[in-house]
Amino acid sequence: MNTSTPADSVITVTENAASQIRHLVAQDPQNAGKHLRVYVEQGGCSGMQYSMVFDEKRPDDLITDMHGVSVLVDPFSAKYITGSVVDFSDSLNSGGFKISNPNAKQSCGCGKSFDA
């Protein structure tokens, strides 16, 4: 099975997010050779919550390469986040990684959880 996908079919990473991902990898030698995994799990105030972790690629992962970083999405999560955009802002009030998900019927105020 081909686990490589066109950049826009699962998830998009902005240049700001890619820059921050590269920065985080460079800060921690344990992340060398790992990819950013974006996934969803049950929880949060809206039912599902986004999570991110540096991880090794698994056989069934979908992978997106964009702006010099690789992002992994497992098949379960792909059902909920296909078409999403990962961005990063260093703003004092609302800084950090943000996921814009066109599949979310409702999102919480913090942007960390959603209802699919």
Where do the domains of the chain lie?
Answer: 11-103
> In this predicted structure, what is the pLDDT of residue 103?
81
Q: What is the arrangement of strands in the sheet containing 84-89, beginning at the earlier edge strand?
A: 11-13, 84-89, 96-100
* pLDDT on residue 2: 38
Looking at residue 107, its pLDDT comes to: 58
Record the pTM.
0.79
pLDDT in tens, 77-105: 999 899 999 999 988 777 889 888 888 76
The span from the CA of 83 to the CA of 11, in Å, is: 5
CA atoms within 13 A on the CB side of 47: 8
The pLDDT assigned to 54 comes to 96
Residue 49 burial (10 A CB sphere; 0-12, 13-18, 19+): middle
Locate all alpha helices (DSSP H) within 48-107, ordered by sequence.
75-81
| Locus of tokens 């004092």 | 92
Of the ranges 31-40, 52-61, 62-71, 91-100, which one carries the lowest mean pLDDT score?
91-100
Is domain 11-103 classified as CATH 2.60.300.12? yes
49 Cβ partners below 8 Å, 6+ apart?
A: 40, 41, 42, 43, 112, 113, 114
Q: Which of 74, 100, 93, 78 is nearest to 14 (CA)?
A: 100
